[in-house]
Structure 1
């Protein structure tokens, strides 16, 4: 047996590297993130998330920008040696993407001069496990609305939508939200209650986030919340009015699509 062969030397180098890493003191999880405790609103489309974000963004300590779609931003290691170089730093593609997302959150937080950042992108519901993995200290607000009301709102917004496909779309969102709500700690907020009792509900949210409540949150028309345009949030006349509009009446139980009844019951809505 040749003890000085290239293969033996490579194995020895690998063992020495692992031993050095084991000898290093553990790095606190917060050291990996510039924003260790972001707030994620997990919701479906047409659930009132844009209203909730502008109410939060009206708070002097909370920055809630438009939908950022972080999950669609990916890192591409284009060469084998790129992967090798990052591996030596303890970074794989997944962690590199977390660093990118974290940097964007941090940049927006610093620009705002505030202390808490909130991301309300509905697509985040589908990647809640990644969010929890990337930010163990993240906080979650689960925004619920009657599932059939969300279907009706989508169709009202685009009458050319096909009902069955719209129900499937909403079902995907609400099932993801419910899975996250079952697995993660957080605060549950109902859109219907937010619009009926905005002062009380926003006070509950502020208590959850550890900030004092301010009436400025209910006067969102006075703040700069960016443009209300498609693909990054609601752009309806209701949200542009600057006033909190009451939610539409709950649909009749008989009108709830069968595919949404289980979730509607789990969320406490009659069906």
Structure 2
């Protein structure tokens, strides 16, 4: 008997990039009935499988064209559905969910393959998305955004706004045509009023609600993969990103784009750009950095205590990490966790290590103070990794998570 049931109701999170889909996926994944991994690109997978089956065994079927298409779709549904059902079952869950932003371009095939699927349509303020895209792309634009940068390389803010318009138009059109299968979710409501927004999401998905879910979102185990790195260092749902888009001058968006954005904002129930920019600036004030931090004292006294306290929570962490704090007041230290005991050495030069983390002195000080997260430092380009990125992430969680 196949593991996959044609009547099952998988879930897809639909959003453009930098709209909070990773946050929403870990929220959904926290529910005891739902397994939601990092992005798996099931939209492109379904499209490729459909073509492969249709033009191979599909051509050997002596049936009408409509029946041929129906059989190929069932074949794709069985392959992908069985894979995902096995994944959910391995986590003792009965429903699966997927969140790849690229799925926005594959809504027709997803809907055909999974006619009973439900969709969480996640929308975020355009300028907040623009600001987040530009901040995240300091070292290069992700593949999904690259075409928009290529088309408008002289105005990156406009390019990101065009991406937002393009993708949210597709999501809104799909939502309009499938109202009973879609729930609109606002990133602002999700972050500012999670106590109301999250239970409504689970009611739509037809699963039970427990207030304890809100308390375990960031302590529950979630499988790693592509997505927003910050979520792995979060302790609570942050409101800090709402309104960040005001740091982008409104004049950076051409008038014709502003008009289109306002039409979309009206459809989504968002403020117009004019109203958005009139509101008080929502950014946090800059945090004073502890330039006087004694790095030697930190690695000699604080770090061993931190490692001793937190190492059991990180799991079976084994390896050697070289930490280079850059700048005039920096230095280099090696944390050796290859054995049972932890060993910290100050090094004059980089020795053999499984991973190396290079970080600006001021940024390191902020991490010690807990005034910023590891994810924020990494996204801003103030830290880089050589060697095993996974191991470096584990060491960062150990010290500053």
- Length-normalised TM-score, structure 2: 0.53
1:32 Cα deviation after fit: 8.5
1:1-271 alignment runs, 5 A limit: 33-34=5-6, 36-73=8-45, 74-75=48-49, 77=52, 82-85=57-60, 90=68, 94-159=73-138, 162-184=156-178, 185=180, 186-218=182-214, 219-227=216-224, 229=225, 232-236=226-230, 239-246=232-239, 247-249=241-243, 251=245, 255=250, 257-258=257-258, 259-271=260-272
* Structure 2 CA distance for aligned equivalents of residues 49 and 139 of structure 1: 15
Give a deviation string over 1:171-214, Cα, whole Å, max 9, x none. Answer: 22111111111111222111101111112111111211222212
- The 3 A distance-change label for structure 1 pair 111 and 85 is farther
Residues 111-144 of structure 1: CA deviation (Å, up to 9, x unaligned): 1211221112222222222222222211121111
Q: What is the distance in 2 between the residues matched to 1:32 and 1:114? A: 13
Unaligned runs of at least 5 residues, structure 1:
1-30
Shift of 1:78: 8.8
Q: Report if aligned partners of 1:40, 1:119 keep a CA contact under 8 Å in 2.
A: yes
Q: Which has the higher strand share?
A: 2
Which stretches of structure 1, 4 residues or longer, exceed 3 Å deviation after superposition?
31-35, 76-99, 250-254
Stretches of structure 2 that go unaligned for 5 or more consecutive residues are 142-155, 273-401
Shift of 1:84: 3.5
Kindly tell me: are residues 145 and 77 of structure 1, through their superposed partners in 2, closer, same or farther at Cα, counting changes over 3 Å? Answer: closer
1:34 Cα shift?
4.5
Determine helix, strand or coil for the equivalent of 1:141.
strand
Q: Distance in 2 between matches of 1:150 and 1:217?
A: 27
Q: Counterparts of 1:80 and 1:128 in 2: how far apart (Å)?
A: 21
* Greater RCO, 1 or 2 (C-alpha within 8 Å, sep 6+): 1
Equivalenced residue count is: 237
Displacement, 1:51? 0.7
Give per-residue Cα distances to partners, 1:64-118, cap 9 Å, x unaligned: 1111101222236499763444566946655543333222222222212112211
How far did 1:216 drift? 3.5
* 1:151–1:167 contact (8 Å) kept in structure 2: yes
> Secondary structure of the equivalent of 2:40?
coil
Give TM-score scaled by structure 1 length. Answer: 0.76
Greater shift after overlay, 125-134 or 40-49? 125-134
C-alpha RMSD of the superposition: 2.9
Gap change, CA 1:87 and 1:233, over 3 Å in 2 = farther
Asked if 2 retains the 8 angstrom alpha-carbon contact of 1:58 and 1:216, the reply is no
Alignment partners' CA distance in 2, 1:81 and 1:173: 32
SS at match of 2:207: coil
